[in-house]
Structure 1
Amino acid sequence: MNITTQEFLEIQDIKEGVLILKNNNIRGVLMVSSMNFALKSDDEQNAIIYSFQSFLNSLDFSCQIIIQSRKINITPYLDSIKNLEEKQDNELLKAQTGSYREFIKELVQGDSIMTKNFYVVVPYSLVEIFGVGGVTKQFNFLNLFSKDKAKIQQFKDDDFEKSKNQLWQRMEFLAMGLKRCGLDVIPLTTPELIELFWTIHHPNEAEIGYSPKISPELLK
């Protein structure tokens, strides 16, 4: 019996930038910028550390930091350079553009140039989920790939709106705290969440080509 990828995922739906799990818990994902901490002065480093410490102490809910390392994908960039090359009327500039494109292509192919993306996953649930002995189960982003079968229940519109509003308040609180540390924070939209999970499940394709086109019916 063939089992589809969707059956292994705990994700039931992605709606309005929110991950809806099969147990009706929801998740939001924030993409966070990076900084070169080593280049900061001692005073700046201390200020960042104290700001981050205060941010962590202010949290009254769990969240998870995800670091995604990928070989840099320059296929779209190379295609744009090739288009400029083909439109160039000046033969000298055309040849220089072609040489530049080949140089960049060989440079990236010769060495593994990595890029890192940073995410914060924010949870919210309508009810507390208790494990053995009444201890709350630890939230983990990897649980989204659990093989355990969860009972699928329909999310009522009113419940979804209330939960989404509570989730957004948490996400705004997190974003504000991280911005005080000098970081830029943006919430992922539905297309960006779909692309994120596509890259997780197709790492090789994500490093050498384009992300697939998303069907309009999936963009809720």
Structure 2
Amino acid sequence: MESLHSNELSSGNGGLSSQKYVDVEEIRDGVILLKNGSLRAVLLVSSINFDLKATEEQDSIIAQYQNFLNSLDFPIQIMVSSRKLNISPYLDYLKKKETQLTNELLALQLAEYSNFIKNLADVSNIMSKYFYVVVPFYPVENTKTGILDRLFGSTNAQMAVTRRRELFDTYKNQLWQRVDHIIAGLSGTGVKITPLKTEELIELLYNSYNPSTQNNSIVKDIDKVELR
């Protein structure tokens, strides 16, 4: 299955924009459209502490995961992203609470705690991990008309916008059938799953190609998402 970027990205042409080598044509309605006409959905998946589970629970999780894998009739990608933990919002929250305290002793203790957390983050490389499942869908290509032509009308000027939208909706619905299948299958293992929306997909790709800015990430916390 194709990845989301071209192999030419690693060719060493540092003066060229990496966007030239990204195989993404468009992102809309929570779907990534690649230049080859295929579609992708990305699911954010929570983690579980497998080692802390009882033996019976571990066996059940393994069995559920095996059943999930055996039920697949299409490929998927599992991606792990490690990012430096951004504690700035938490420090801002503590600072705000400190200004609201009327007890000087409590305010002093909170200030010392804030400094401890800040110093700990400065000297430690605290990382947070995000887990994703990439779900593909490949439309059947017509021999006379390519997939991208049908979707974007790049070579067929007479194709109506409504027709292109209908095709996209059809492909998206078939992609979402796979998404629902994966959500149902993985939910049995005890993890939480949610599809990324358009803004979050753009941010994920931006952070992937600009790792130095990942500490500014605003990808939603899996514990605060609207679960399906």
User: Shared fold by TM > 0.5?
Assistant: yes
1:211 Cα offset (Å): 5.1
Equivalent residue for 1:37, pick from 27, 50, 67: 50
Asked if the contact 1:76/1:210 (under 8 Å) is kept, the reply is no
Point out the more displaced range, 41-50 or 168-177. Answer: 41-50
Which has the larger displacement, 158-167 or 188-197? 188-197
Q: What pairs with 1:152-163 in structure 2 (closer than 5 Å)?
A: 154=152, 156-163=164-171
Q: Residue 193 of structure 2 aligns to which amino acid in structure 1?
A: V
2:210 to 198, 202, 213: 202
Q: CA deviation at 1:92?
A: 2.8
Q: 1:132 matched to which residue of 2?
A: none
Aligned equivalents of 1:76, 1:124: Cα separation in 2: 38
Distance 1:55 1:44 in 2: 16
Q: Find runs of 4+ consecutive structure 1 residues off by over 6 angstroms.
A: none
Distance 2:202 2:96 in 1: 28
Query: Is 1:168 the equivalent of 2:181?
Result: no
Give SS of 1:182's match: coil
What is the deviation of 1:162? Answer: 0.4
Q: State which drifts further: 68-77 or 175-184.
A: 68-77
Residue 117 of structure 2 corresponds to which residue in structure 1?
104
Contact 1:64-1:121 within 8 A present in 2 as well = yes
Change (3 A) 1:171 1:81: same
Compute the TM-score of the two structures, normalised by the length of structure 1. 0.78
Contact 2:18-2:209 within 8 A present in 1 as well: no
Give the partner amino acid of 1:8: Y
1:165-210 deviation line (CA, Å, top 9, x unaligned): 0111100100100001111111111121122122212222222x45
SS of residue paired to 1:70: strand
Q: Distance in 1 between matches of 2:97 and 2:202?
A: 30
Query: 3-state SS of the aligned residue for 1:127?
Result: coil
Unaligned runs of 5+ in 1: 129-150, 213-220
What residue number does 2:95 align with? Answer: 82
Change in Cα spacing, 1:51 to 1:159, as seen in structure 2 (3 Å) is same
Aligned-pair identity in percent equals 44
Contact 1:11 1:20 in 2 (8 A): yes
Conserved 8 A contact 1:85-1:97: yes
What is the aligned partner in structure 2 of residue 7 from structure 1?
20
**Aligned 8 A contact 1:30 1:185 in 2:** yes
Asked if 1:66 is matched to 2:79, the reply is yes
Between 54-63 and 92-101, the greater mean CA deviation after superposition = 92-101
> Secondary structure of 1:61's match?
coil
The equivalent of 1:189 in structure 2 is 197
Runs of at least 5 residues in structure 2 that lack an aligned partner in the other structure: 1-12, 142-147, 154-163, 220-228
Q: Aligned to 1:126, what secondary structure does the other structure show?
A: coil
Measured after TM superposition, the shift of residue 70 of structure 1 is: 1.7
Q: CA RMSD in A?
A: 2.4
Superposed CA deviations along residues 125-172 of structure 1, whole A, max 9, x for unmatched, are 2126xxxxxxxxxxxxxxxxxxxxxx8861721111001101111001
Give the number of aligned pairs: 190
